[in-house]
């Protein structure tokens, strides 16, 4: 699909041309050390180190001597830590190296690789792109395993639903599991009822593409049990509570939670973290047909909790409920679920900042630290228990939707009903999409929160 992440890097500096990343303090020093032709051209061009300013410099023979890249004011707390990702689209083809790198060379290198991503499944991508020489002290393997995970998630989210339904998502899961020697299994169609996954089946029963629950395990059984759960709704019409056309345009990304879980799983397995990893993905399509589930229906969940359907467009929490109940049964140390769950989360925090929900203060404190360090933002919202009454039902144990307020919180509270034995639980309501291009973040599918979580798990289990 996309060009491999490794194609954006090189370990050789033999033919690499220099990139001087300069701020308002370092620019004077760099300018004085430039070759005369390059210095004269920079002065004639009135170059200043404003944020993102880019200038190719000529040598005495008319070739390219290198380039200048502006970082803005030193110490600017609002500076984009992934700004170097912009270079992937600006630099001509060939090899380049940081003659003066941004302050965080590892993050700058990763940003360059992430900015090199192009989704090329349906049209020819530009064949030649620039390559960056890995700076001294930067672990290229670590950068690549992170980038490979992000590339995988982006490819999955960017693929339209006609080419990525539950069958194809299962195939992608099996490919990843096989790559790392993980043990994979699935429950498909009406076998979901036999194996007690009634909510997964209910959501997917209206589609000709059979619903399924796919899982794999990896690592030593004696290691701490970490379980990832990803919402895999491959397309969401809203069901009988049908979405308006504008809201349906991006619903190929409603499996973005599954994509994020697979991205993180790849990083964990590639780094050989000392965990026993389990990944659970309920993969369905929420379609409209004569046998689609209806508003007002009541289903008994895997956990035994009966659920009244207040809205068929709140289907993600239903498939997650059965998957979380399964995850909870073995009492893991940590359960993390990813889901493109609510529009309310986007209204509250926008497309770039996923809300995080957990009752584990220590977990949140550590995660918040890594989110800031990795430029992978998160914001904690409360599991506010008084809002639980919004989920009340007169005929069942719970409704699947709350009132007209606090939609992200009530969705998280609904999920919390299905996790009771795990030591810690973290719920992430992600957007899984970049609505516009920014440095290191091309427009399209994205794996929000994954880099921060990988840094946290590496710290704990590396």
Q: Which one from 253, 317, 346, 451 is the annotated catalytic residue?
A: 317
On whether the CB atoms of residues 439 and 84 are closer than 8 A, the answer is yes
Higher pLDDT residue, 404 or 445?
445
Give the range among 88-97, 119-128, 161-170, 407-416 with minimum mean pLDDT: 119-128
Please check the confidence at residue 259 and state whether its pLDDT lies above 90: yes
Average pLDDT over residues 211-240: 98
- Residue 443: per-residue pLDDT: 97
Average pLDDT over residues 325-346: 98
Please check the confidence at residue 85 and state whether its pLDDT lies above 90: yes
Q: Which one from 53, 243, 438, 460 is the annotated catalytic residue?
A: 243
Percent of the chain exceeding pLDDT 90 equals 95
On whether the CB atoms of residues 96 and 130 are closer than 8 A, the answer is yes
* Plot region of 454 (φ>0 → left; ψ -120 to 50 → alpha; else → beta): alpha
* 276-328 residue pLDDT tens: 999 999 999 999 999 999 999 999 999 999 999 999 999 999 999 999 999 99
Domains of the chain listed by start with CATH number: 5-138 (3.40.220.10), 145-461 (3.40.630.10)
CA distance 257 to 337: 8
Q: What share of the chain is helix, strand, coil (3-state, %, to 5)?
A: 35, 20, 40
Average pLDDT over residues 47-61: 95
Mean pLDDT taken over the chain: 97
Please check the confidence at residue 141 and state whether its pLDDT lies above 90: yes
Joined together, the tokens standing for residue 98 give 């940081």
The 8-class DSSP code of residue 125 comes to P
- Residue 409: per-residue pLDDT: 98
Q: Residue 213 belongs to what H/E stretch?
A: strand 212-218
* CA distances in angstroms from 298 to 160, 294, 357, listed in the order given: 32, 9, 27
Q: Radius of gyration of the chain from Cα atoms? A: 24
Phi–psi pair at 191, nearest 5 degrees: -65, -20
Residues paired with 380 in a beta bridge:
356
Please check the confidence at residue 261 and state whether its pLDDT lies above 80: yes
On whether the CB atoms of residues 346 and 429 are closer than 8 A, the answer is no
Q: Residue 27 belongs to what H/E stretch?
A: helix 27-33
The verdict on whether 317 is a catalytic residue reads yes
CA distance 220 to 403: 44
Average pLDDT over residues 209-227: 98
Question: b/e map of 390-419 (b: 16 or more CB within 10 Å)?
Answer: bbeeeebbbbbbbeeebbbbbbbbbbbbbb
CA distance 16 to 34: 16
| Closest CA relative to residue 289, chosen from 206, 233, 360, 205 | 206
On whether the CB atoms of residues 118 and 2 are closer than 8 A, the answer is yes
Average pLDDT over residues 34-45: 95
* 12-28 residue pLDDT tens: 999 999 999 999 999 99
- Residue 1: per-residue pLDDT: 59
CA atoms in the 13 A half-sphere facing the CB of 186: 22
């Amino acid at each position: 699909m996309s060009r491999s992440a490794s194609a954006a890097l090189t370990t050789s500096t033999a033919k690499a041309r220099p990139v001087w990343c300069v701020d308002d303090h370092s620019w004077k020093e760099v300018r004085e050390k430039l070759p005369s032709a390059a210095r004269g051209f920079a002065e004639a061009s009135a170059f200043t180190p404003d944020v993102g300013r880019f200038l190719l410099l000529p040598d005495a023979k008319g070739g390219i001597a290198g380039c200048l890249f502006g970082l803005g004011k030193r110490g600017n707390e609002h500076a984009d830590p992934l700004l170097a990702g912009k270079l992937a689209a600006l630099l001509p083809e060939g090899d380049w190296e940081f003659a003066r790198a941004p302050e965080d060379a590892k993050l700058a290198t990763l940003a360059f690789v992430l900015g090199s991503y192009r989704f090329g499944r349906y049209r020819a991508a530009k064949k030649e792109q620039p390559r960056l020489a890995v700076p001294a002290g930067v672990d290229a393997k670590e950068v690549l395993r992170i980038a490979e995970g992000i590339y995988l998630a982006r490819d999955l989210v960017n693929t339209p639903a006609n080419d990525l339904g539950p069958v194809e998502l299962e195939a992608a899961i099996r490919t990843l599991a096989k790559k790392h020697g993980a043990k994979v299994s699935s429950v498909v169609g009406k076998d979901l009822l036999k194996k007690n996954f009634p909510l997964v089946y209910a959501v997917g029963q209206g589609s000709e593409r059979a619903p399924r629950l796919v899982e794999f395990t990896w690592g030593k059984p004696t290691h701490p049990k970490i379980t990832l759960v990803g919402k895999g709704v491959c397309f969401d019409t809203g069901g009988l509570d049908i979405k308006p056309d504008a809201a349906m345009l991006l619903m190929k990304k409603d499996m973005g939670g599954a994509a994020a879980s697979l991205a993180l799983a790849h990083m964990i397995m590639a780094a050989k973290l000392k965990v026993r990893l389990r990944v659970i993905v309920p993969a369905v399509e929420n379609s409209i047909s004569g046998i689609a589930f209806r508003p007002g229906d009541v289903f008994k969940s895997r956990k035994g909790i009966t659920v009244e359907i207040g809205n068929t467009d709140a289907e993600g929490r239903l498939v997650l409920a059965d998957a979380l109940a399964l995850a909870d049964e073995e009492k893991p140390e940590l359960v993390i679920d990813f889901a493109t769950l609510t529009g309310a989360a986007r209204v509250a925090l926008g497309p770039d900042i996923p809300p995080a929900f957990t009752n584990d203060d220590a977990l949140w404190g550590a995660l918040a630290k890594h989110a800031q360090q990795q430029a992978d933002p998160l914001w904690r919202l409360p599991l506010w228990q008084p809002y639980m009454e919004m989920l009340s039902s007169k005929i069942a144990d719970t409704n699947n939707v709350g009132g007209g307020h606090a939609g992200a919180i009530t969705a998280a509270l609904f999920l919390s009903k299905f996790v009771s034995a795990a030591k810690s639980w973290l719920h992430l309501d992600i957007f899984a999409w970049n609505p516009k291009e920014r440095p290191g973040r091309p427009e399209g599918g994205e794996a929000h929160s994954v880099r921060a979580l990988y840094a946290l798990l590496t710290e704990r289990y590396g």
